[in-house]
Amino acid sequence: MLALGKLLELTLAGREPAQKIQSTVDGVQMRWLSEGALEVRPPEARDNGSDLLLSSGIHGNETAPIELLDRLLHGIARGEIKPRTRILFLFGNPEAMRRGERYLELDVNRLFNGRHEKNIGPEAMRAAELEQLARSFFSQPDRSRLHYDLHTAIRGSKIEQFALYPWKDGRQHSRRELARLNAAGMEAVLLQNKTSITFTAFTYEQLDAEAFTLELGKARPFGQNQGVNVSRLELRLKQIIEGTEPETDSLDGLKLFAVSREVIKHSDAFLLHLPADVENFSELEKGYLLAEDVAKTRWVIEEEGARIIFPNPKVKNGLRAGILIVPTTDAGLA
153 binds, among ligand LFNQLBSZ, Zn ion, none (CB under 5 to 8 A by kind): ligand LFNQLBSZ
- Distance CA(323)–CA(261), nearest Å, equals 6
- Distance CA(147)–CA(163), nearest Å, equals 12
- Catalytic residue, from 131, 160, 215, 242: name it: 215
Least distance to ligand LFNQLBSZ, CB of residue 152, Å: 7
Which residues ranging from 145 to 164 are in contact with Zn ion (CB under 5 A)?
A: 151
Closer to Zn ion by CB, 11 or 55: give it.
55
Among the listed residues 320, 313, 310, 317, the one whose alpha carbon sits nearest the alpha carbon of residue 154: 310
Closer to ligand LFNQLBSZ by CB, 109 or 113: give it.
109
Among the listed residues 165, 38, 37, 126, the one whose alpha carbon sits nearest the alpha carbon of residue 29: 38
- Distance CA(117)–CA(98), nearest Å, equals 25
Is 62 one of the annotated binding-site residues?
A: yes
Is 147 one of the annotated binding-site residues?
A: no
Interacting span for Zn ion (CB under 5 A) from 77-85, 112-120, 143-151, 186-194? 143-151
- Distance CA(67)–CA(146), nearest Å, equals 20
Least distance to Zn ion, CB of residue 291, Å: 22
202 binds, among Zn ion, ligand LFNQLBSZ, none (CB under 5 to 8 A by kind): none
173 binds, among ligand LFNQLBSZ, Zn ion, none (CB under 5 to 8 A by kind): none
Q: What single-letter amino acid sits at 312? A: N
In the complex, residue closest to Zn ion by CB: 151
Binding site for ligand LFNQLBSZ (CB under 6 A): 59, 109, 151, 153-155, 164, 198, 200, 213, 310, 312
Least distance to ligand LFNQLBSZ, CB of residue 106, Å: 12
Residue 80 a catalytic site member: no
- Distance CA(60)–CA(99), nearest Å, equals 7
Choose which of 39, 50, 55, 59 interacts with Zn ion (CB under 5 A).
Answer: 59
Does 110 engage in binding with Zn ion (CB under 5 A)?
Answer: no
Sheet holding 297-300, edge to edge: 271-272, 289-293, 297-300
For residue 273, the Cα-to-chain-centroid distance in whole angstroms is 28
Q: Which residues of 295-317 are buried (b: 16+ CB within 10 A; e: fewer)?
A: eeeebebeeeebbbbbbeeebee
Among the listed residues 151, 31, 144, the one whose alpha carbon sits nearest the alpha carbon of residue 84: 144
Residue 319's alpha-carbon distances to 101, 119, 154, in angstroms, are 19, 14, 16
213 binds, among ligand LFNQLBSZ, Zn ion, none (CB under 5 to 8 A by kind): ligand LFNQLBSZ
Query: Residue numbers of the site for Zn ion (CB under 5 A)?
Result: 59, 62, 151
Report the catalytic residues: 215
